[in-house]
């Protein structure tokens, strides 16, 4: 298919290693420009961008004229000499000695100008090629990788929890349902937590990291119908252990991208001094303290009410680091949360809010360990017992205190990248009104 | 919740580091045995098993008598002195100086005897605690981790492809469908490939690793309704590159578990000499050669027919290593596969079969790069064009040769562990007749 190349085929990102040498680059046209007898051709290959310079007479006449046929996103093979060029982005350029178009196109829909976000989302399969979108995807890759490193290094075992579940645990209104062959309805998982609890009783410390689904009729900048969540669960962990684990994780993740993906953060014009604040310890305050702080700032909230997007935004603007808010009223939290012994109205739970107004990125809690309390909770929350018998078994056979949390990847990434909306934080967003492409 | 401990709380797996020292262990009763004035207590904590020895008079009388109340899977805190004991599994035991039950149970359903698989699957949330199941889960974790290492180290970017998709690409008969709010049906993804192709045109080399769904009415030892698949796609890759990449990947994965999870393979009584054959290069044969070999062995198959489970089993028994079978007839393969220039009846595709009768673990191909050919294919396969417009765009704007493959995690794990059925290769299997727990 490809003719053998004399010069090695190299990635644009690796060009500095080839200074002064002949190379072959395979990629796509990003930008074209003419100036007298010189043609400039910015090429991308997924690893980076480089400028190729075509000087008439220094490459075959036929190759030189191919330039005129090219349009944005045409694919091609470029041969040339790598040289340092301080004015070029990345510090290197290629003096082109050969150009072979692979597939010429002239009418690429996403031109170098402003487009509306609706149009761009329709073209998501092409929009991914934009350098900004590539940078976001690389940051997403690094964060996901770092999550896995964090847990692997700490002895947490990956336990993939099922997506198809028989139980509509927290009500059916926000669940996607499907027919499970002829065995009734199955529901797409909103969280792997209950299954992780079973696995934690087997393996001690476990985590899962997979897609999660909420058929929520919310059209906000923080909601996706399908998003990725990393969840951890550990036997013998108490709320305090989870507070520490969450803080350690988020610090690790942010420092990791600062260390390894600085180029991408720069491309996004991200102010990294704000991110580097995670080195310091994260403020912790109780729900009750948080309510007082909101009231002091004039927010109309009463003790016992849940925080909405607005309250979260306000709270998350009060600190320059992520903040841990713990011990919410039990009545506004899920059935499985352990009550605080010192005040049974409170749940042993924690939310982490990202700064700069990004709001909740983590939710976690210590889980009810006692069978009778859990049975009473099912009644209190009007949940059916039968489909949860297996979950109750965890309290029948060697129940132990345990705790866990979930971190939303897209919300974390949106904060790390400084995105206005989570829709850019996932390769193919599924929104209230969008299932295509 | 827990009283402060004088001795450090340690993992059973780390006990060798504490020889001669006092430690605290938190875990569950695995086995109980009395012999005169001595009580033996095997405890598990998710990291391993250790025997505790209770000698009357060497621990508080009250703690000694707690032993009689314990049943299998009761949870407890054990305090004691670590000592080397050659006869003990793992080479260490604990002389118990204190025992505090946390939750006592007497009627754990999974006793130390043979149980039917139907019963065990009903108790999957508890069955995970069996040492054999723990070993399988740890091997799964390691394989999944190694897949990600392999791609990360080679510059493949993780691109999570959507689960909810608008297109019923390869027919609706094996698809799970759900109502996407009020925007019509969405289908659960059977493969991220088409989306990965879009991402490969942006980032060059990409992969995804997520759950995949097939509502297949097959009740075989190789089928799950929900399973995990790692898929890779690379721009400018040809079939030959994919053959090499698949071989490199599977070799890397198997050598990795041999290196890091030998203890678990031993627990499963796996013959690792069979696995270590992956060091040698994998045999490659064309579909046509494979048909001849099957016919020579008396299998009734005609050129042009697809291999079923039986043929795969036979082929995979002919070699002591994974075998790569390439260039199947185009008519029995998917619409997106590039035809072989030398014989357009053949598809540029490959299946990898695991040895020992395990059958297909990988399917891959070079993809059609030309728009007109792809349009003709859609007609030929009676596929609608409109929902695939975005996919066609990849051939309209800078199309390049590209190729990729998918590896089924459970099938690979079943082979690596020597399991008879894939149902043990996933934490919570979803089978034709099973959606619980």
Which candidate, A310, A304, A271, places its Cα nearest to that of A287?
Answer: A304
| Chain B from 136 to 175: CB within 8 A of any A CB | 137-138, 140-141, 144-145, 148, 152, 155, 157-166
DSSP B248: H
The encoded tokens of residue B427 equal 């934490």
Query: What's the angle, vertex CA A377, arms to CA A375 and CA A378, rounded to 5?
Result: 70
pLDDT tens digits, one per residue of B163-196: 999 986 666 679 999 999 888 999 999 999 999 9
Q: Is B335 helix (H, G, I), strand (E, B) or coil?
A: coil
The reply to whether the predicted model has a pTM over 0.80 is yes
Q: Is B349 helix (H, G, I), strand (E, B) or coil?
A: strand
At residue B170, the pLDDT reads 62
Round to whole Å and give the CA distance between A67 and A69. 5
Rg of the Cα atoms in chain A = 26
Round to whole Å and give the CA distance between B216 and A23. 49
At residue A217, the pLDDT reads 87
Q: Does B122-425 match B12-103 at the fold level?
A: no
Low-confidence ranges of chain A (pLDDT < 50): none
Nearest residue on chain B to A396, alpha-carbon basis: B105
| Nearest by CB: B399 against A75, A109, A202 | A75
Q: For chain B, give every domain's residue range.
A: 12-103, 122-425
At residue A170, the pLDDT reads 62
CATH no. of A122-425: 3.30.930.10
- Say how many CB pairs under 8 Å bridge A and B: 274
CA dihedral for A12, A14, A18, A23, sign (positive or negative): negative
The phi, psi pair for A160, rounded to 5°, reads -70, 120
| Nearest by CB: A204 against B45, B144, B159 | B45
**Distance from A300 to chain B by nearest Cα, in Å?**
33
The phi, psi pair for A366, rounded to 5°, reads -85, 145
Query: What's the angle, vertex CA B182, arms to CA B181 and CA B183, rounded to 5?
Result: 95
Sheet order of strands, A349-354 included: A157-158, A205-213, A226-235, A402-408, A359-366, A349-354, A323-326, A284-286
- Tell me the fold of B12-103: OB fold (Dihydrolipoamide Acetyltransferase, E2P) (2.40.50)
At residue B370 the predicted structure's pLDDT band, cuts being 50, 70 and 90, is: very high
Question: Which one of B125, B129, B156, B188 would you mutate to disrupt binding with A, by most A Cβ within 10 Å of its Cβ?
Answer: B125
Interface contact flag, A202 B134, Cβ < 8 Å: yes
Question: Which ipTM value was assigned to this complex?
Answer: 0.97
- Please report residues of A whose CB lies closer than 8 A to that of B163: 163, 188, 211, 213, 226
Round to whole Å and give the CA distance between A96 and A58. 8
Interface contact flag, B137 A202, Cβ < 8 Å: yes
At residue B96 the predicted structure's pLDDT band, cuts being 50, 70 and 90, is: very high
At residue B88, the pLDDT reads 85
At residue B4 the predicted structure's pLDDT band, cuts being 50, 70 and 90, is: confident
| Nearest by CB: A178 against B46, B105, B177 | B177
pLDDT tens digits, one per residue of A26-70: 999 999 999 999 999 999 999 999 999 999 999 999 999 999 999
At residue B1, the pLDDT reads 62
Please count the other Cβ atoms lying within 10 Å of the Cβ belonging to residue A351. 24
CA atoms within 13 A on the CB side of A63: 20
pLDDT tens digits, one per residue of B104-161: 999 999 988 899 999 999 999 999 999 999 999 999 999 999 999 999 999 999 999 9
Which candidate, A388, A350, A399, A395, places its Cα nearest to that of A170?
Answer: A388
pLDDT tens digits, one per residue of B345-358: 999 999 999 999 99
Interface contact flag, A75 B108, Cβ < 8 Å: no
B389: pLDDT strictly greater than 70? yes
Please count the other Cβ atoms lying within 10 Å of the Cβ belonging to residue B378. 16
CA dihedral for A92, A96, A101, A104, sign (positive or negative): positive
- Please state, rounded to an integer, the average pLDDT across all residues of chain B: 96
Residues in chain A: 437
Q: Is B386 in CB contact (< 8 Å) with chain A?
A: no
Round to whole Å and give the CA distance between A7 and A24. 6
Strands B22-35 and A284-286 come out as unpaired
What is the rounded average pLDDT of the residues B296-317? 94
Interface contact flag, A137 B125, Cβ < 8 Å: no
């Amino acid at each position: 298919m490809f003719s053998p190349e004399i010069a090695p085929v190299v990635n644009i990102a690796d060009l500095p290693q080839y200074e002064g040498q002949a190379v072959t680059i395979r990629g796509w046209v990003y930008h074209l420009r003419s100036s007298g007898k010189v043609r400039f051709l910015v090429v991308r290959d997924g690893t980076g961008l480089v400028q190729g310079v075509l000087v008439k007479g220094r490459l075959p006449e036929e190759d030189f004229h191919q330039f005129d046929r090219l349009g944005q996103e045409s694919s091609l093979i470029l041969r040339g000499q790598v040289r340092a060029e301080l004015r070029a982005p990345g510090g290197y350029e290629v003096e082109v000695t050969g150009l072979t178009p692979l597939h010429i196109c002239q009418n690429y829909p996403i031109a170098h100008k402003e487009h509306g976000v609706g149009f761009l989302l329709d073209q998501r399969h092409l929009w991914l090629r934009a350098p900004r979108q590539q940078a976001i995807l690389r940051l997403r890759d690094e964060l996901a990788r770092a999550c896995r490193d964090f847990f692997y290094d700490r002895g947490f075992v990956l336990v993939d929890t099922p997506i198809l579940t028989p139980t509509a645990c927290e009500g059916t209104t926000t669940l996607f349902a499907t027919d499970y062959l002829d065995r009734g309805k199955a529901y797409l998982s909103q969280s792997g937590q209950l299954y992780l609890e079973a696995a934690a009783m087997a393996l001690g410390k476990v985590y899962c990291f997979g897609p999660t689904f909420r058929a929520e009729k919310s059209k906000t900048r923080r909601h996706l119908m399908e998003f990725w969540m990393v969840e951890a669960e550990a036997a013998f962990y108490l709320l305090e252990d989870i507070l520490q684990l969450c803080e350690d994780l988020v610090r690790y993740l942010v420092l990791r991208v600062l260390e390894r993906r600085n180029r991408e953060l720069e491309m996004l014009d991200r102010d990294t001094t704000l991110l580097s604040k995670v080195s310091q310890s994260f403020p912790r305050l109780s729900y009750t303290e948080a309510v007082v702080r909101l009231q002091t700032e004039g927010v109309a909230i009463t003790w016992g009410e849940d925080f909405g997007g607005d309250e979260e935004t306000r709270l998350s603007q009060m600190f320059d680091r992520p903040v841990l808010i713990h011990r919410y009223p039990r009545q506004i939290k899920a059935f499985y949360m352990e009550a605080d012994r010192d005040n049974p109205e409170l749940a042993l739970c924690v939310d982490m809010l990202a700064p700069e107004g990004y709001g909740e990125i983590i939710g976690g809690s210590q889980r009810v360990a006692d069978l009778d309390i859990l049975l009473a909770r099912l009644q209190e929350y009007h949940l059916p017992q039968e489909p949860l018998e297996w979950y109750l078994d965890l309290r029948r056979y060697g129940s132990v205190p345990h705790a866990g949390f979930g971190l939303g990847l897209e919300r974390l990434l949106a904060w790390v990248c400084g995105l206005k909306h989570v829709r850019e934080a996932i390769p193919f967003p599924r929104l209230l009104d969008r299932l295509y492409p």
